[in-house]
Amino acid sequence: MNKLEICKRTRKIASDSLRLILEKVLRSNKPISEASFGNLWLKELRKHKEIFPNGWYDPPPHGIIILFASDKNLRRLNFKSVRGEEWWPKKDIFMDRKSGLLLFYASPVDKKTGIIGDFQLTIYLGKNPKIIKLLKKNLNISKKLVNKISPKMKFKDITDIASGLLKKEGLINAIYSASDPANFNIGHTIPFSNEPMNELEMKILEKGSWNKVLAMISEKRVF
């Protein structure tokens, strides 16, 4: 299996696992907190032995982000970075099944190759037309950007296209990343997808501590 297929398979594990948990939760009337949802998702992810038990984007714990807000109070989704404990999944913040705005993210890692399969999804359960319009606008920007990218294109050119698409729609990206020297943060490469692992990196993946694996993946990203 080539590296792109491994990335797609790893992401599919995250998305399929999320779908299973969402279906169960949304069929129930039982209150569900961010922390409880995160634990259910993590348990489902860990059934897949081809990935590590935890995600690489840590903190938050286990490399999972769960944020629940409602269209009456969007503060929970108004973050610069989710690294701080304030934004980790909480036991006292519950899903609003009528007007909820829900953010889900997981960062599984393939055991054999170290290829990551980051997956994020934002779901809105309400009917506010402004929020629906904004979510559609963001999706369309992503689609337009993907359609404009071609093989061997420079990262600078991709950044310029993304910046132009956001500016045209009157939007900005307010998310901060300590790892992005330009602080524009529209994305990064998938580590080891564009170059082979060297001997030291292979040794870290196979026998290194989990913290060393996390650091290696983080440092190999090119923004």
> How large is the average pLDDT for residues 68-72?
96
User: Of the candidates 121, 136, 118, 123, which has an alpha carbon nearest to the alpha carbon of residue 95?
Assistant: 123
Predicted confidence at residue 182, as pLDDT, reads 67
Structure tokens at 183: 């602080």
Q: By percentage, how much of the chain surpasses pLDDT 70?
A: 97
Using the predicted structure, report yes or no on whether residue 91 has a pLDDT greater than 90.
yes
Predicted confidence at residue 194, as pLDDT, reads 83
Q: Write down the pTM of the prediction.
A: 0.93
> How large is the average pLDDT for residues 85-107?
97
Predicted confidence at residue 187, as pLDDT, reads 82
**Alpha carbon of 3 to those of 106, 116, 126, 129, 215: distances in Å?**
19, 10, 38, 40, 20
| Residues 127-145 pLDDT 10s | 999 999 999 999 999 999 9
| Residues 148-202 pLDDT 10s | 999 999 988 999 999 999 999 999 887 767 776 666 778 889 999 988 999 999 9
Q: What whole-number distance in Å separates Cα of residue 209 and Cα of residue 223?
A: 25
Q: What whole-number distance in Å separates Cα of residue 178 and Cα of residue 76?
A: 21
